Chains A and B, each alone.
Chain A
Amino acid sequence: MNLIIVAGTASVANLVTTAAQLDGETLAVVVGSRAVAERIATSGVDKVIWFGEPGDRPLEAFAPAVAQAATAARPQVVLGGRRPAERVLLGAAAAALRAPALIDVKEVTSQAGTVMVTHGVNGGIAVTTREFSGPVALMVDGGGVAPVQGAAPIEETPAATLPMQVTAVQVTAVTEVDLAAAPRVVGAGRGLRAREDLSIIEALAAALEAELACTRPLAEGLDWLPRDRYLGVSGQHIAPRLYVAVGVSGQLQHLAGVRSAETIVAINSDPKAPVLAEADYALVGDLYELVPAITAALEQP
């Protein structure tokens, strides 16, 4: 038996396909609305446990319910995504099972009670393969929504929840972006001197028909772009055909999110910036000169 944790969204196709390759059936525990539970039931899993509508409870309040379900199911592998609530619930399952928890999982196989996991370590600078005889909790990028397949039964279980409650919500009206699906992405870094200067990066992105992304400091701290637009070990992971890093130093915490890009272009004024060594095309120079020139060149027929 393997368990996938669903929290608030049915975008867990990668978890479903990963679980399907493993020995044993797949149980999905769903925290969130009935609509999510119903969608998961048609994603190819064998059984769904749903804890009822959350109402004003945050998804994290369901940690004991997930822990209880994990303890009862005695899974070999528990899979969860990278979003905040998914991490909290994966951690709760790992705690209940006293299971090791790993991130950046690249490959997992199971056979006769043994699980082999290959995963990146230390921000993805190396990979390790480990063997487990007991349960293990693995964090896997959720991916999109799985295609419709089968109809698993949904068991509605009343849940023990923690005493926490959402009392107010402020929406800053940003639409969620799917950077992972974009074929081209332009990433801006602190090489930009002012927020207004984002316009030259936006112009490049428009000419490339690319999504705009950034490094963490631009999203947290400077607040120039929303949090779901930063790339890296703790941000989004992308694998586009083209990634253009502009004024990005290329610390490994950032590169961890973009290493799977097919082609990387780096523009940086410091010839020693680590990003230049990780690029297919390296341009050492002032972004304020180079970016408008590239935009103009792209706009020429």
Chain B
Amino acid sequence: MKIVVAYKWAADPQEATVAADGQVDFSRAKSAVSDYDAVAITVARHLGDTHGADVVGLTVGGPEVATGLATKAALSRGLDALMVVADPALTAAGSTGTAQALATALAGVDDIAVLITGDSSVDVGAKLVPAVVGGLLGWPVLTEVTAVAIEPGALVVERAVSGGTEQLRIDGPAVLAVATDAATVKAPGMKDVLAAAKKPVQQLPADPVVADGTLRSTARLSGPARRGIQISTDDPAAAAAELVSALRADGVLIGGQQ
């Protein structure tokens, strides 16, 4: 029995720069295992330990996802082995293209009990890849999953829903996107880092995937221009009075226009 966990090697857009023409430049941003995918790996590891199953990481992306830096960073978080699909064509793959590459890789693996994913990737944040992977494989998909147990032939899942939680029973393998607080992530220790260097990494070829349309233009984000007014806070009461009268003048307080 295998537990597969999909993780993305990506950089935080907070560190990207946006040029005047709207081109996003990630070249100075450092990639890492996407924040919430570390939660997914932790959940998968616990599940693997409980059931004596292998925990296999799976990532797809540009050539950088197959570098030693990237694979060791993922393996040191407790995976037993890795599958990597690295191809320049996948660098800019969208949610569907990424999901196609993941589904193709999964189709070649026997005896998968569950595919665990993160809640959302740090750079795209669509919460869509798990849904499309499930659609391609014909597997059930649940998100916001807070707990998972494996029973013979079934998965027992708990998930957060608006206003509470739900327990569900799923027959057969499924794609489960775990909630961001489904597990507490520990930083890998020295032993984990050393062990990572010896774990197997399997590279798989990339198939062609759907393109994300034809790019016509890019632009910087345009929103309401901000006024950037600094209110001195040396005297909190005076600062408060100044803010309140400014907001009142703007008409955004109770009884303001509209």
Contacts and interface: CB of A to CB of B under 8 A. Distances in A.
Interface of A: 58, 60-61, 63-64, 67, 84, 87-96, 98-103, 116-117, 120-132, 136-137, 139, 162-176, 183-184, 208-209, 216, 220-221, 223, 226-228, 233-234, 241-242, 251-253, 259-265, 274, 277-285, 289-290, 293-294, 296-298
Contact of B227 (A102, A132, A228, A280): A280
Contacts, number: 288
Given A125-B13, A263-B247, A167 B168 contact: yes
B50 interface: no
Given A127-B221, A285-B233, 9 more contacts: A91-B131, A95-B96, A96-B135, A101-B126, A102-B94, A103-B128, A130-B212, A264-B226, A282-B231
Chain B interface residue count: which class? 35 or more
Interface of B: 13-14, 16, 18, 22-24, 94-97, 99-100, 119-120, 123-128, 130-136, 138-144, 160-172, 174, 179-181, 210-224, 226-231, 233, 236-237, 239-241, 243-244, 246-247, 250, 252-254, 256, 258
A298 B237 CA distance: 11
Nearest to A261: B224
Given A94-B132, A100-B97, A101-B96, A164 B125 contact: no
Nearest to B251: A241
Nearest to A226: B163
A126 B24 contact: yes
B94 to A, nearest CB: 5
Given A91-B131, A100-B94, A130 B215 contact: yes
Given A95-B99, A168-B167, A241-B258, A58 B142 contact: yes
Nearest to B250: A263
Contacts of B14: 251-253, 274
A167 to B, nearest CB: 5
